[in-house]
């Protein structure tokens, strides 16, 4: 697996595996004790309707996408729904 620096991911577009553009990566949460990554925090695109998304929203209106849902990182971060 190729290593990717977190600084290269900031602002990267996030898309679901069905081609729906979800938004842009805002941040990544992690467990400070174990170092395990938890969630991608995604700033949703304005045209994205909440009823079309299976992910939770945080108190700031960002999507909380489990890291386990990440399928690929290239031009987009592709996540399973």
All structural domains of the chain with their residue ranges: 12-79
pLDDT in tens, 3-25: 665 666 878 999 999 998 999 99
Query: In this predicted structure, what is the pLDDT of residue 52?
Result: 75
Question: Average of pLDDT values for 45-69?
Answer: 90
Residue 28 Cα distances to 35, 40, 46, 52, angstroms: 12, 5, 21, 22
Check whether 51 has a pLDDT greater than 90.
no
Query: In this predicted structure, what is the pLDDT of residue 17?
Result: 93
**Domain 12-79 superfamily per CATH:** PRC-barrel domain (2.30.30.240)
φ/ψ region of 2 (left if φ > 0, alpha if ψ in -120 to 50, else beta) reads: beta
Q: What angle do CA 34, 54, 50 make, to 5 degrees?
A: 120
Q: How confident is residue 53, by pLDDT bands cut at 50, 70 and 90?
A: confident
- Which H, E and C letters describe 35-80, residue by residue? CCEEEEEEEECCCCCHHHCCCEECCCCCEEEEHHHEEEECCCEEEC
Q: How confident is residue 71, by pLDDT bands cut at 50, 70 and 90?
A: very high
Query: In this predicted structure, what is the pLDDT of residue 2?
Result: 56
């Amino acid at each position: 697996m190729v290593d990717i620096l977190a600084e290269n991911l900031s602002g990267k577009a996030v898309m679901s595996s069905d081609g729906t553009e979800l938004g842009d990566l805002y941040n990544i949460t992690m467990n400070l004790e174990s170092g395990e990554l938890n969630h991608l925090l995604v700033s949703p695109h304005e045209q994205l309707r909440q009823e079309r998304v299976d992910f939770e929203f945080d108190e700031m209106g960002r999507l909380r996408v489990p890291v386990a849902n990440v399928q690929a990182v290239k031009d987009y971060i592709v996540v399973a729904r």
